[in-house]
Amino acid sequence: MVRVGCEALRRMTDRAQRSTELLFSFGVIADVQYADTEDGFNYTGTRQRYYRSSLDLLRSAIRDWNREAPPPVFVLQLGDIIDGCNSRQKTSARALRAVLAELTRCRCPVHHVWGNHEFYNFDRNELLTSALNSKHLGEDPTSGAAANDPEGFYSYHFSPFPKFRFVLTDTYDLSVLGRQNGSKKHQEALQTLREKNKNENLNSPIGLAEQNFVEFNGGFSREQLEWLNQVLTFSDNNQEKVTVVGHLPVHPNSTDPICVAWNYEKILSVLHAHQSVVCFISGHDHDGGYFLDEHGIHHLTFEGVIETPPNSQAFGTIYAHEDRMVLVGRGRVPNRILHYRKTGD
Ligand SMILES: Nc1ccn([C@@H]2O[C@H](COP(=O)(O)OP(=O)(O)OC[C@H](O)CO)[C@@H](O)[C@H]2O)c(=O)n1
């Protein structure tokens, strides 16, 4: 665990901002999984889950971001903001109100992606009409799939600073979670899952050749990959630096292989075809992870708040410079320097 004292944090933040001009900064937080319920454990019983404390940690992260100078220009909320146990306890709406009340204190816009726990609590229509739909913060909010298309996907992009772009992806576009029973995407996802996973419990990875083919994961439709390809082509032509974001990691070396998106090879080949892509940021694996791939793309998996003890933290601020991004992590999130790949890598 990396512990960063106040003075050390101030020095690092100063250093991150001083050496070559700071262009902008943004906050990142993953897997809050709030529930007003007693602490518990993950499925294998190896990690404690602090359901109530996660709301306090979210509050203190927002307080810290609000105090930063210069302030972050936006926050990325990487999904699983409330836990699936709320659905069983019929507290989904109340839990969502509690986390949104905290998020409204944030002085900058918050961009949301959707994880498996969003779909344990809500269907896609409910999510689209909720405050967890931040697509209105994107450029060209009608790009990608139409908002009222039941087979559509939730993805958008925005540019917070000239020559920088962030693309939010839907890693549950192809999934049995969140798709209407009998819909085309549900049928396709269930068929894919059953081909790869012969277990009675489709959440179980026991005996699988490809451990990630479990029900709590998902993947990308062809339409979404085509959309992503178009956005990245624009970014290449405009000489932008692009960070792609999703709940699920897309590189098996950046996470426990059980947590990676189903058809991660497909999205990796799209990312690798575009020189503009510098980073992929995800959550889902509460232990976090990092990998610099052979094309120079940084894969950053954020540690989850839910498995973070009350006396620690799990969030970060990323400082964007001309030549690199600098992650200043808090608590379980380590500091990292992410140099951009050289054009032509
Ligand atoms: N081996 C397993 C693991 C999980 N399940 C069941 O699947 C559902 C989702 O699991 P959960 O741990 O809640 O998912 P998270 O998104 O919080 O975490 C994902 C990674 O595990 C983090 O490292 C739930 O119903 C589990 O009971 C299962 O059956 N078998």
Which pLDDT tens digit goes with each residue over 99-114? 999 999 999 999 999 9
- For residue 232, what are the contacts with CB-CB under 8 A and spacing of at least 6? 167, 242, 270, 271, 273, 274, 276, 277
What pTM does this model have?
Answer: 0.94
Ligand 1 atom nearest to 204, measured from its CA: 30
pLDDT at 5 over 70: no
Bridge partners for 336 per DSSP: 327
Share of the chain above pLDDT 70, in %: 92
* Number of the ligand 1 atom closest to the C-alpha atom of 84: 13
Report how far Cα 196 is from the mean position of its chain's Cα atoms. 25
Token pair in block for residue 93: 């709406």
- Across 178-201, average pLDDT: 97
Asked if residue 92 is part of any domain, the answer here is yes
Determine if ligand 1 sits within 6 Å of the CB of residue 260.
no
Question: Which region, left, alpha or beta, applies to residue 209 given φ > 0 means left and ψ of -120 to 50 means alpha?
Answer: alpha
Q: What is the H or E stretch that residue 12 is in?
A: helix 6-18
Regarding the beta carbon of 267 and ligand 1, being less than 6 Å apart is answered: no
User: 3: Cβ below 6 Å to ligand 1?
Assistant: no
Domain count, the chain: 1
| pLDDT per position as a tens digit, 38-62 | 999 999 999 999 999 999 999 999 9
Tokens of 25: 């900064």
- Distance between Cα 161 and ligand 1 center (Å): 37
Q: Which of 140, 342, 171, 200 is nearest to 262 (CA)?
A: 171
Best probe residue, ligand 1, of 199, 203, 204, 286 (max atoms within 8 Å of C-beta):
203
11: CA distance to ligand 1 center in Å?
A: 38
Domain annotation covers residue 2 = no
Structural domain containing residue 76? 22-339
Residue with CA closest to ligand 1 atom 28: 203
pLDDT at 345 over 70: no
pLDDT-derived band of residue 2, with 50, 70 and 90 as boundaries? very low
Q: Locate tokens 């993950």: which residue?
A: 42
Which residue's CA lies nearest to atom 21 of ligand 1?
A: 285
Report whether pLDDT(19) > 70: no
269 assigned to some structural domain: yes
Instruction: Give 302's DSSP letter.
Output: P
Residue 201 beta carbon below 6 angstroms from any ligand 1 atom: yes
How far is it, in rounded angstroms, from Cα 229 to Cα 143? Answer: 13
Residue among 269, 173, 280, 153 nearest 220 (CA): 173
345 in any annotated domain: no
Question: Given the structure tokens 């549950």, which residue do they identify?
Answer: 172
- Is the Cβ atom of 41 under 6 angstroms away from ligand 1? no
Identify the band that residue 305 occupies on the pLDDT scale cut at 50, 70 and 90.
very high
- Which pLDDT score, from 0 to 100, does residue 150 have? 80
CATH for 100? 3.60.21.10
Phi, psi values for residue 240, rounded to 5°: -95, 165
Type of residue numbered 183: S
Instruction: Note whether residue 89 is domain-resident.
Output: yes
CA dihedral for 144, 146, 152, 157, sign (positive or negative)? positive
Among protein residues, the one with the nearest Cα to ligand 1's atom 25 is 203
C-beta atoms surrounding 336 within 10 Å: 17
Task: Report the C-alpha gap between 185 and 168 in whole angstroms.
Answer: 20
ipTM: 0.98
Judge whether 17 lies within some domain.
no
CA–CA gap between residue 340 and residue 100 (Å, rounded): 34
How many angstroms does the Cα of residue 84 sit away from the middle of ligand 1? 10
Whether 27 maps to a domain, the answer reads yes
Mean pLDDT of the chain: 94
Ligand 1 pocket: which of 118, 212, 216, 287 to mutate (most atoms within 8 A of CB): 216
Q: Is residue 44 part of a domain?
A: yes
Q: Is 43 exposed, middle or buried (0-12, 13-18, 19+ CB in 10 A)?
A: exposed
- Residue 284 CA to ligand 1 center (angstroms) comes to 10
